[in-house]
C-alpha cells in the first residue's frame, strides 16, 4: 500500500503526539491507531502496524527503567514467560480475526482502553488497600501461590495486550499492587518491562505474518521516537493531571466517533 506525502505527514504528526503522550502519561494509541484507520488502512493491519511502530519507544523506556528493576528472578521470570506467551497468543488471535469483525470490535476496544486509562488508578488503589500481610516492593518474600496467581493474571493481560493493548499498563499495576507492591517507581519498572515483552512477542508475530505496512510503520517509528524524546524531556514540567485529562478526552472522542461510524 503506497504512501503519499500528505498521508506521511499525517502519520508522522500523529506518531509524534502518540510518542509524547506515552512518555508523559500513556494512551498514545488513542491517536496513532485511529490515524491509520482514518487513512482507510484495514483494521487488523492498522493495529499490527501501530504496535510495531510504537514498540521502539516502549523498549527504550524499559531500558531507561532498568536501574529501578530489583525484583527477584523467581518472580520476574514467570511474569516474563506469561507475558511473551500471552502476547503471542493475542497477536495470533488478532491475525485470525476477520477484518469486518475486528472493525466492529474497535469501538468497544477503544472504550475498554479509555475506561482502564480513566479508572486505572482507582482500580490500583483498591488492590493496594486490600488486606496484604506485608508490602514488599522488591518481592523477595512473595509466596509461590501469589506468583502463580500473578502469572495467570499477567497471562490474561498479555493476551489482551497482544490483541489490542490500550490500558494494559493499569492492569499490570493492579496485579503488582495485589502482589504487595506500593512503590510506584519500582512498579513502573516491572510494568514497562512486561509491556515491552508482551509487545515484542506481538511485533515478531505480526512481522512474520507480513501484517505490517512498512512505509507507514517506518514514518511512525520516526515520529514516536521523536515524540518520546520530547515527552521525556518535558515530563518534569507537565501537569500529569492535565495530560491525563487530555488523553481521556481523546479516548472518549475517538470511541464516540467509531461507534457512530461503524454502527
SS3 of 114-181: HHHHHHHHHHHHHHHHCCCCCCCCCCCCCCHHHHHHHHHHHHHHHHHHHHCCCCHHHHHHHHHHHHCC
CA distance 155 to 150: 9
pLDDT tens sequence across 72-117: 888 899 999 999 999 999 999 999 999 999 999 999 998 888 887 7
The reported pTM is: 0.84
Question: pLDDT for 170-214, tens place per residue?
Answer: 778 778 877 777 776 677 788 889 989 999 999 999 999 999 999
C-alpha of 87 from chain center: 11
Residue among 232, 175, 251, 204 nearest 57 (CA): 232
Q: Which of 16, 11, 18 is nearest to 35 (CA)?
A: 11
Question: Which pLDDT band, with edges at 50, 70 and 90, does 242 fall under?
Answer: confident
34-73: pLDDT as tens digits: 999 999 999 999 999 999 999 998 888 788 777 777 778 8
End-to-end CA distance of the chain: 27
In the predicted structure, residue 31 carries a pLDDT above the cut 80: yes
In the prediction, which pLDDT does 120 show?
Answer: 63
Cβ neighbours for 190, distance < 8 A, ≥ 6 positions apart: 69, 71, 76, 79, 172, 176, 181
pLDDT for 227 beyond 60: yes
| Predicted local confidence at residue 70, as pLDDT | 78
C-alpha cell at 26: 500513556
pLDDT digits (tens, 9 = 90+) for 175-184: 887 777 777 6
Q: Is the pLDDT of residue 129 over 70?
A: no
Average pLDDT taken over every residue of the chain: 85
Q: Where are the domains of the chain?
A: 5-262
Amino acid at each position: 500500500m503506497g504512501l503519499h506525502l500528505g498521508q506521511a505527514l499525517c502519520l508522522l504528526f500523529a506518531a509524534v503526539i502518540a510518542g509524547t503522550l506515552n512518555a508523559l502519561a500513556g494512551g498514545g494509541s488513542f491517536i496513532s491507531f485511529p490515524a491509520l484507520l482514518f487513512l482507510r488502512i484495514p483494521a487488523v493491519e492498522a493495529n499490527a502496524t501501530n504496535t510495531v511502530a510504537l514498540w521502539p519507544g516502549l523498549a527504550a523506556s524499559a531500558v531507561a527503567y532498568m536501574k529501578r528493576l530489583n525484583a527477584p528472578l523467581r518472580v520476574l521470570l514467570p511474569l516474563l514467560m506469561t507475558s511473551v506467551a500471552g502476547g503471542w497468543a493475542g497477536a495470533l488471535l488478532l491475525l485470525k480475526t476477520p477484518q469486518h469483525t475486528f472493525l466492529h470490535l474497535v469501538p468497544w476496544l477503544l472504550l475498554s482502553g479509555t475506561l482502564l486509562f480513566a479508572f486505572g488508578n482507582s482500580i490500583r488503589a483498591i488492590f493496594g488497600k486490600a488486606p496484604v500481610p506485608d508490602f514488599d516492593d522488591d518481592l523477595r518474600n512473595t509466596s509461590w501461590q501469589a506468583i502463580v496467581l500473578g502469572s495467570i493474571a499477567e497471562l490474561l493481560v498479555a493476551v489482551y495486550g497482544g490483541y489490542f493493548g490500550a490500558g494494559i499498563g493499569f492492569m499490570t499495576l493492579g496485579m503488582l499492587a495485589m502482589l504487595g507492591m506500593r512503590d510506584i517507581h519500582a512498579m513502573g519498572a516491572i510494568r514497562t518491562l512486561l509491556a515491552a515483552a508482551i509487545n515484542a512477542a506481538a511485533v515478531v508475530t505480526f512481522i512474520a505474518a507480513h501484517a505490517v505496512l512498512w512505509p507507514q510503520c517506518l514514518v511512525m517509528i520516526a515520529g514516536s521516537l521523536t515524540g518520546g524524546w520530547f515527552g521525556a524531556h518535558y515530563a518534569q514540567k507537565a501537569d500529569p493531571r492535565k495530560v491525563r485529562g487530555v488523553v481521556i478526552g481523546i479516548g472518549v472522542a475517538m470511541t464516540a466517533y467509531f461507534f457512530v461510524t461503524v454502527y
